[in-house]
Structure 1
Amino acid sequence: MAWKSRTRTLQVFDTELSADTVEWCPLSSSYDILACGTYQLQKAGESEDAPHRRTGRLYLFEFRREDSMIPPLTELQRLDTAAILDLKWCHVPVSERPVLGMVTATGELQLYTLLDDQEGGRSLKAMCSSAVGAERLALSLDWSTGRMESSDIRVVCSDSAGCVGVFSLAEGALVALSQWKAHDFEAWITAFSYWNTQLVYSGGDDCKLKGWDLRASPSSPAFTSKRHSMGVCSIHSSPHLEHILATGSYDEHVLLWDGRNMRQPLGESAVGGGVWRLKWHPTHQHLLLAACMHNDFHILHCQQALEGRGEACPVVSSYILHNSLAYGADWSRLSLDAPAPQSPPATEPKQSLAESRGHVRIQYESPTASFDTSLEDDAGRYIPEAVVTSSTGPAAPPAPNPDQDAPSLSCLLASCSFYDHMLHVWRWDWTPEESDQH
């Protein structure tokens, strides 16, 4: 497979606290809304025995690309909270409004409603919450609504005690349905099967991937896989292809599965870093985004593996401009149907972080041999502009048909990294090419 691939940073934002999760809203009325969560361990004192405090902050942003001279990302709101481990938007409206789920270091599942204010802006308002468990960290959550279906809205959470719990959402309140001990150590991740929402997956620090049938006793998993050699920390059910599941681990491998046969994966791909998050593209069924901790962010093309050829998924693009642990990543559904602005001559003086009000200007280029990477400053101008051949025109927007990959794509993504507390918003332009004829 041959392709032309290019990533370009649109904006970099300093989150001040360590950033570990980022999520675009999946509802059409709010495709331009982005949430980012942070996690900071605060030492209580000089004594090693003193308890540590985990604090966090929830950011809400709006993405607008109307003026190339203005940074596209605008901060709408920030809420100081307990440390945030995971964020997920419900895929369907609740009482006609978007709802954001959040799990915290205080062992809580919290829901927020996105509201319009009288001045025409938008903000999050606390809706309800429920305790996942005392003296434990709530580590991950997922909604049962991944296929954009609204019947029987439920949330599943995992925690540092190795437990998994399921909650229903009805009439604006969370109701605990069940909780059970799923793993010997931290249950890093849990997720619904979007095609059979009575099936829940979990992954733990005990190196096990498990499936659970909610109609049966949770004391016995539907399956247990030890195929990963280290802790399982990412799981995402495909919203496009029934039975398909992607998992990632500290063992630096992404595995693709057919849920009807969990003895052997469809494909295995080494990505060079612990796989903290995996996200299937919202409309293109073969594209998978991976946040790989010590080895940046990668986009994998999974078609051959999903067709049962047993092959590794090629990396079609990498985003390598974070300088710390790659933790949070997500695709936006927002269309990028306008060509990116071209750079004027670089005559602007450097601007301090204080003057740019949190938007960080990066003055270096870091391309790889395979991917063309460039950066924009906080006024929307690229620094520097890489040379593009005249045959490469503006990339087309994503095709509406999820069953076929379009000839070309332009995608908007967000990613965040931990110790350098940075949120990046970037675009990816991709054009598959015909194979060379010999």
Structure 2
Amino acid sequence: MARHCKTQTLQIIDTEYCADTTEWCPVGGWHNILACGTYQLKKPESKHVAGDEETYNPHTRLGRLYLYCCRPDQLFIPLTEVQRTETAAILDMKWCHVPVAESPMLGIVNAKGMVELCRLTNSEMMCRLEPVCSVDLGQECLALSLDWSTGLGESTQPLKIISSDSKGQLSLLQIQESAVALDILAQWKAHDFEAWIAAFNYWNTEILYSGGDDCKLRGWDMRTGTHTSIFTSSRHTMGVCSIQSNSHRENILATGSYDEHILLWDIRKMKQPLADTHVQGGVWRLKWHPTHEHLLLAACMHNGFQILDCQTSIAQTTEECNILSSYDHHNSLAYGADWSKLSLTELSATNQEPLFSASCGSGSRSCSEQVVQKLELQGQNLKIFYESPTASFDLILEDEVGGYIPEAVATANKIFEPGPVQSETHLLATCSFYDHVLHVWRWDCNLTEPSK
């Protein structure tokens, strides 16, 4: 038996601001809800003269939060925008895996150094995200990531959030469910430079993991305090920016780095990874499949989105994981990615080819036409603006008239034929930065008899 994997784009949405995170709601009854967060660096518009010196207004980091409703039976345009909210620039967001005070809850971290909670409500047949509470992680820092303690899909009391920031700190927060408020339980210096990512061990939420721009992967045990880590790994050779615990297989951890490698770990043996897979792009986000323990989705910055099969690596410690499929229809840095838990019976039953539909913010042109126009501008001179400490986000590519230029990448579907799984259809959402687009796409895996 061989496995044929194919990707098909269902919809492209122009998010207007640079898109860097997207998340399907994992709470039962709400799987059709998708959120997308954006980050836009606004240049100074005016200068002030103080004595003999000219000073410029600081750059402003703007953001917008989108909420979409998905109808998988609407094959051509499955997503409908139901809400957009202007906010500070969003760097990461995650849904709590269980209801909080009987409602889905979205955690958001932003460029003002805040962790915010928003409640999903359904009033008058309209879904809305409503701000509930927030906490400031400290002055002059950007909140970079967060994770919930509920990754096994079970209610843990009390609910906790771990967050990381641009000063290299980690912050452990606790949610007061009755009052729906956030308290900082602990805050400590974990890394030199940016702490790009922090995550829970879902099987033991007293254990935390963090990765930083100092190239270190660290583990922390809250029972022994925050003064020292329980392990430090320097196996990654560049900044560690993605970590996720496997919610279906205890002791399995995936990490990714700017060094373009995904490492698969058994946390009981942190001296050597189970597998090392080179994906030819910085690994900004990793997402284990919500029901299949061996499928791993990776946002690989300059090399699109990759789906890995980790089954043989987990069971037999192979040197690298199989790359099943690549989705390279984005024209810029691949940042946000997530699997949907929606049932795709309707999608699997049809053989219709999808359209490249769009929901654009302005004008009548389709998003695909806009993308083509931008690609045609690539021959023009580019101006690059670079601002520390978040170079990954504060790089601006412009043409001579100030328009954003996406990076060109190949856009061909690929077919791979590695090892055995069931024939299924999966729904995914991914987003990319400078071309500011959100894609909804399907991934089909079909078992076939080998040709004779």
Q: Same fold (TM over 0.5)?
A: yes
- Which of these residues, 65, 68, 72, is aligned with residue 72 of structure 2? 65
What is the number of residues matched between the two proteins? 401
2: distance between equivalents of 1:245 and 1:197? 14
**Paired residue for 2:412?**
367
1:269 is matched with 277
- Of 188, 206, 212, the residue aligned with 2:196 is 188
Q: Which amino acid aligns with 1:63?
A: C
Structure-1 separation of matches of 2:166 and 2:80: 34
Q: In the TM superposition, what is the alpha-carbon distance from 1:420 to its structure 2 partner?
A: 0.3
Question: Matches of 2:156 and 2:21 in 1, distance apart?
Answer: 27
**TM-score relative to the length of structure 2:** 0.84
Task: Identify unmatched segments of 5+ residues in structure 2.
Answer: 48-54, 373-409
Distance apart, 1:32 and its partner CA: 0.2
The aligned residue for residue 430 of structure 1 is 445
CA distance in 2, matches of 1:146, 1:357: 41
Is the aligned partner of 1:87 residue 2:132? no
Task: Map 1:175-214; keep pairs closer than 5 Å.
Answer: 175-214=183-222
Output the amino acid matched with 2:16. E
Aligned counterpart for 2:137 among listed residues 129, 132, 136: 132
Q: Distance in 2 between matches of 1:351 and 1:43?
A: 27
Matches within 5 A, 1:295-374: 295-338=303-346, 339-343=349-353, 354=362, 360=368, 366-368=411-413, 370=415
SS in 2 for 1:307: helix
Matches of 2:198 and 2:302 in 1, distance apart? 22
State the AA in 1 paired with 2:92. Answer: D
Instruction: Measure the CA separation in 2 of the matches of 1:356 and 1:308.
Output: 53
Quickly say closer, same or farther: Cα 1:213–1:352, change in 2 above 3 A: closer
Aligned to 1:427, what secondary structure does the other structure show? strand
Inter-partner Cα distance in structure 1 for 2:154 and 2:108 = 20
Identity of aligned residues (%): 55
In the TM superposition, residue 435 of structure 1 has moved relative to its aligned partner by 6.3
Distance 1:93 1:302 in 2: 30
How far residue 46 of structure 1 moved from its aligned partner, in angstroms, is: 6.1
SS in 1 for 2:440: strand
1:142 is aligned to 2:147:
yes
Please give the residue correspondences for 1:36-115 in structure 2 after superposition, counting only pairs within 5 Å.
Answer: 36-45=36-45, 50-68=57-75, 71-115=77-121
Partner letter of residue 16 of structure 1? E
Q: Per the alignment, do residues 259 and 322 of structure 1 end up closer, same or farther by CA in structure 2, a change over 3 Å counting?
A: same
RMSD: 2.6
CA deviation string 1:85-116 (max 9, x = no partner): 00100000011100000000000000000001
Against the structure 1 CA distance between its residues 196 and 52, is the aligned structure 2 distance closer, same or farther, given a 3 Å change threshold?
same
Deviates more, 1:11-20 or 1:303-312: 303-312
Following superposition, the deviation at residue 363 of structure 1 comes to 10
> What is the deviation of 1:310?
2.9
Q: Unaligned regions of 5+ residues in structure 1, if any?
A: 373-404
What do the CA deviations read for 1:159-178 (whole angstroms, capped 9, x no partner)? 00000010111121111100
Task: State the distance in 1 between where 2:324 and 2:411 align.
Answer: 17
2: CA distance, partners of 1:330 / 1:212:
26
What is the alpha-carbon distance in structure 2 between the residues aligned to residue 224 and residue 133 of structure 1? Answer: 25
Q: TM-score, normalised by structure 1?
A: 0.86
- Asked if 2 retains the 8 angstrom alpha-carbon contact of 1:11 and 1:360, the reply is no
Q: How does 1:242-281 map to 2 (within 5 A)?
A: 242-281=250-289
Q: Distance in 2 between matches of 1:83 and 1:61?
A: 19
Give 1:17 shift.
Answer: 0.2
Shift in alpha-carbon separation, 1:205–1:176, aligned structure 2, 3 A: same
CA shift in 2, pair 1:100/1:357, >3 Å: farther
- Following superposition, the deviation at residue 132 of structure 1 comes to 1.2
Q: How far 1:68 moved relative to its partner?
A: 4.2
SS at match of 1:245: strand
